[in-house]
Chains A and B, each alone.
Chain A
Amino acid sequence: MSLLELQGVDAFYGESHILRDVTLGVEEGEVCSLLGRNGAGKTTTLRSISGARPPEVRDGRIVFKEEDITAMSPEDISARGLSLVPEERRVFPNLTVAENLHLAEVSENRSNTVGRSLGQVQVEHVGMTTEEVYDEFERLRERKSQKAGTLSGGEQQMLAIARALKQNTDLLLLDEPYEGLAPQIIADVEDAIRRISDSGTTILLVEQNAIAAMDIADRCYVIDQGSIVFEGTAEKLRADDETRDRYLGV
């Protein structure tokens, strides 16, 4: 069974039907990417997975580590090892870099206590320590007592990813991590994502920038008007001119 599975998910914003029968799976250890144009339903998919409301999931199941998480709250889902790095303004700008990272620890402590008291959550994967995170992202160490809002876009993205890594993350959901970043910075963020993936964390990457995403992904899904229209390896998508042209415009 896949680490994460969406089984025939139908999601709504009020009365508008956004996701139609979306079925996809993310295998342990891979970098999976969900591509599509603006408004295709990418972010709605991520929000459905991470427990944010709206959208309202009316049909289908979302299964993470063989547990149905469809109706869970974001913090319960997060406690199970699934971290979302949302698009734009991903950090707490008025907290320092170190505080942003420390938040992850507070929440992890909480999930541990909850796990112990309720016997529900089994926290197995322990996140990186602050030192390990700083080793991975040297620039964050240099800026650790700076307010996060003063970092550049790329650095903020790194910080958001770093925070997710400090938690017991098994699956990292990245929503448009390249958005608004300069090409050189994109390469840096790509590097970071590769290293995270090499260290064993599974990644679901949602991107409009299909070229950059295909570079890094093992497998790709393409979504259009709320339905999955392509599933396959990055090579297969690269070879499939029609799909790329029709749904991604590249």
Chain B
Amino acid sequence: MSDEPTETPDATDETGSVVERTQRELPSWERIRESELFVVAATTLAVAIFPWLFARAPVVSGVLQGYQDLATLILIWGIFAMGFNLLLGYTGLLSFGHAAFWGGAAYAAGVFSAQVSSSPILIILAGTSFAALSAWILGFISLRRGGIYFAILTLAFGQMAFYMALSPLAWITGGENGFTGVELGKLFGVFQLRYPVPGLDWLVGTWKYVLVGGVAVLCVAAANRILHSPYGMVFRAIRENDQRAEFVGLNVWRYKLMAFIISGTFAGVAGSLFTIYSAYVPLSSFYWTTSGEVVIMAVLGGVGSLFGPILGAAIYLYVENIVSGVQQLTLPFTGPNEYVTLVQEPVVLMDGFGAYWHLILGLVFVAVVVLFPRGIWGLLMDFGSAVRKLGGGR
């Protein structure tokens, strides 16, 4: 559980008693799980096998029906949702305007690629810097108000960005058509993004995925580092009670602004990657539904944990892209295309099932919010510890 760090505050406490030393020498599973090295290593491993498992592994990929591009998209939105959660889950601020940073970065990255340099790394840096700067300005203004007013202000700014891109700035953004002139060069001047990785294409697929996956691992490492730093602790203190945090002597407003900028920066990384991913920037990246989607992803997966929102992004995109394509809902093991077929004639439960994907997502969302306030990630964690308890461990 990434929301319960136990180590950081001990930084000043060097003398620890004998009991504590023993604990340090014999790290428990919990301690290992929270160590930075483990988090980064596990993330790297998961990111590396994800496209294979999702799109190419026998049986599993057949059941999931995933594909390479969706795996890439999930990571991109995962970065967005994770950064968003630093604000919502850890600092307790609900922004409805994060589309401004995602879209702003996407456009900035696109324009940069067409006008300045087509190097993917530089494109990401350009888009991210633009988003960080926008977050600083919008946060500076929006954070003057708290609660619902803050949410409304961010929403208003997001929509403002949308209408700016739609018409006054159409000469740069391409207006309703989106930005179409994205130029993508080679990664480090060597690797063509759309080419498969020699020898590893069965695992990770293309260089594009390697780039997105690498950035995703860096983002997880950065977020993990932030959450375990004094900043993360102060963010959580503010979430619990910002007035009390003020009495402790913390400049709450400045920390909130910092959280907002950090979260906008992550949105910027994701937005820039999205431009690289699709080689196109749709106008909808500024639309308020983009802000809404990231809220849903974060809450679905579980706010207040590092990985929950990434899982939420995966589930959301999975329903949006795979479930929505299911024409007929049939009973498992019926029909000709199953691995194990019991009945040759498919038993159809529902026709046109995929068309209801919004409804399905809505029902899942309501169920999660009502039944599992810690999200699906929280549910999995509880399940995991219950299993370990059954097994006699801790």
Does B233 count as interface, using CB distance less than 8 angstroms?
yes
Complex: how many Å from CA A134 to CA B246? 24
Q: Is the CB of A105 within 8 A of B12?
A: yes
Closest CB-CB distance, A115 to chain B, in whole Å? Answer: 12
Known: A96-B9, A145-B6. A106 touches B240 (CB 8 A): no
Structural contact, A94 and B236, CB atoms closer than 8 A: yes
Q: Mark A51-90, 1 if CB is under 8 A from B, else 0.
A: 0100000000000000000000111001100011010011
Instruction: Encode contact with A along B55-66: 1 for CB under 8 Å, 0 otherwise.
Output: 000000000000
Bound Cα distance A173, B102 (Å): 46
Complex Cα gap A95–B234 (Å): 10
- Interchain nearest-CB distance for B18 vs A (Å): 13
Q: Pick from A99, A110, A131, A134: contact of B233, CB below 8 A.
A: A99
How far apart are the CA atoms of A50 and B246 in the complex, in Å?
A: 10
Does A163 have its Cβ within 8 Å of any Cβ on chain B? yes
Give the complex CA separation of A108 and B236 in angstroms: 18
Residues of B close to A94: CB separation below 8 A: 236, 240
Selected from B4, B6, B8, B247, the residue in CB contact (under 8 A) with A78 is: B247
Check: B87 CB closer than 8 A to any chain A CB. Answer: no
Is residue B349 within 8 Å, beta carbon to beta carbon, of the partner chain? no
Q: Which single member of B8, B237, B251 contacts A110 (CB below 8 Å)?
A: B251
> Whole-angstrom distance between the alpha carbons of A83 and B248 in the complex?
7
Q: Is the CB of B236 within 8 A of A95?
A: yes
Q: Is A101 part of the binding interface, using a Cβ–Cβ cutoff of 8 Å? A: yes
By the criterion of a CB under 8 Å from any partner CB, how many residues of chain B are at the interface? 27
Complex CA distance for A138 and B246, rounded to whole angstroms: 27
CB distance from B306 to the nearest CB of A (A): 16
Decide yes or no: A75 and B13 within 8 Å by CB, A95-B236, A95-B237, A103-B237 being known contacts.
no
Q: Does A206 contact B (CB under 8 A)?
A: no
Q: Is the CB of A92 within 8 A of B249?
A: no
Residues of B within 8 A of A84 (CB): 247
- B233 and chain A: residue at smallest CB distance: A99
Per-residue interface assignment for chain B, residues 241 to 259, with 1 indicating a CB less than 8 Å from any chain A CB and 0 otherwise: 1011111111110000000
Bitwise interface map of B from 211 to 248 toward A, beta carbon under 8 Å scored 1, else 0: 00000000000000000001001101100110111111
Q: How distant is A42 from chain B, measured CB to nearest CB, in Å?
A: 17
Instruction: Please give, as numbers and ranges, the residues of chain B lying within 8 Å of A52 by CB-CB distance.
Output: 243, 246-247
Residue in A50, A110, A130 whose beta carbon sits within 8 Å of that of B247 in the complex: A50
The yes or no answer to B345 lying at the interface (CB within 8 A) is no
Q: Which residues of B contact A (CB under 8 A)?
A: 4-6, 8-13, 15, 230, 233-234, 236-237, 240-241, 243-252
List the 3 closest A-B pairs by CB distance, nearest first: A78-B249, A107-B249, A98-B9
